[in-house]
Amino acid sequence: MMKDYEKVIKEFEYKLQGLQQKKLEPIKYMVSGISLCNKTLAKLKSLVEEFDFETIPGEIHFFKHLKSIPMSQLILFTEMRTCELQKPKAGRQYKINFLEKELKKINKFFYRNSDFVYYMEMDYSYLDHQFFSRTHRSKFPVSPLTDYYQFPEFSTSHDMLWAKVKAMYQFIHYLRESLEELKPGQTKKYEQKKHQVLVWTASKTALIELIYALYSDQCVNHGAADLKMITSSFEDFFNIKLDQIYKTYSEIKERRGSRTKFLDELIIHLQHKMDKEEGFEKT
């Protein structure tokens, strides 16, 4: 049964990637994203109502790792749409002030939920049965997050909060990009000074392979970082421009033999280094 849930998530990620490639106008993109998220959550909800979960660990895995993927994107798209609609239409400084206030709101959110964020960032699991199963909802009443998808029987005490934490990580990136457009160059000088000695000297294809590996393993911001965010960060860090990452990824998938050529080479080189160092230590 868990495979059915995972199939829905994979389909969602594929459609989300396609939506990102369309390069729609901001509001149209956000509205389309909200629609996609709602349809995906409706599918997951129907599956849960029909089949439920065979075990508590399975239920925890679903609410902690699977439902949070479309749920966090729904919250992100909703916040971005609200931001775009409420942002001042004229006056550069008015826009800057508005965006900076939004960042302050996010800081307050993280401060209010610092204990839970710490629990998740440390990858703890000892309270997962209370946070991410519906068994203990009476002990931890669900606190509604307004304007988001709300179905009590399809929620645990903390799965919505976890989705919002993941969404806010991405929303920060969106706000910073918006500020950069209004205040161009103010952060670039710092980035150039910080990273000027780090240059990616392998192929761009190799870097894209690494980026997709990090994204697929959800090891950046607990899976909250999307491909665009990870790619942008690597571009800044290594002073490189990565074009057509989706096309390159398709070409990587079509390789004959090993499709993870660069990652395989990394493993071999690291193992060789360790073996060599252990040989020196033994002599």
**Residue 67 and residue 130 share a domain:** yes
**Residue 157 and residue 34 share a domain:** yes
Residue 1 is predicted with a pLDDT of 67
Of 129, 155, 182, which residue constitutes the final position of a domain? 182
Residues of the chain with pLDDT below 50 are 142, 144, 146-147, 187-195
Count the domains in the chain. Answer: 2
Q: Which residues contact 243 (CB under 8 A, 6 or more apart)?
A: none
Number of H helices, E strands in the chain: 13, 0
**Residue 10 and residue 130 share a domain:** yes
Report the alpha-carbon angle 169-171-177, nearest 5. 115
**Residue 152 and residue 96 share a domain:** yes
Domain that residue 126 falls in? 2-182
Of 182, 217, 236, which residue constitutes the final position of a domain? 182
**Residue 161 and residue 210 share a domain:** no
Residue 189 is predicted with a pLDDT of 44
Are 26 and 83 in contact by the 8 Å Cβ rule? The answer is: no
**Residue 195 and residue 177 share a domain:** no
**Residue 160 and residue 30 share a domain:** yes
**Residue 261 and residue 175 share a domain:** no
Where b means 16+ CB within 10 Å and e means fewer, 180-215 reads eeeeeeeeeeeeeeeeeeeebeeeebbbbbbbbeeb
Q: Which residues contact 212 (CB under 8 A, 6 or more apart)?
A: 227, 249, 252
Residue 153 is predicted with a pLDDT of 76
**Residue 191 and residue 116 share a domain:** no
Of 155, 182, 209, which residue constitutes the final position of a domain? 182
Residue range 137-186, pLDDT digits in tens = 555 554 545 445 567 678 888 999 999 999 999 999 899 989 888 887 65
**Residue 176 and residue 265 share a domain:** no
**Residue 208 and residue 151 share a domain:** no
The whole-model pTM stands at 0.70
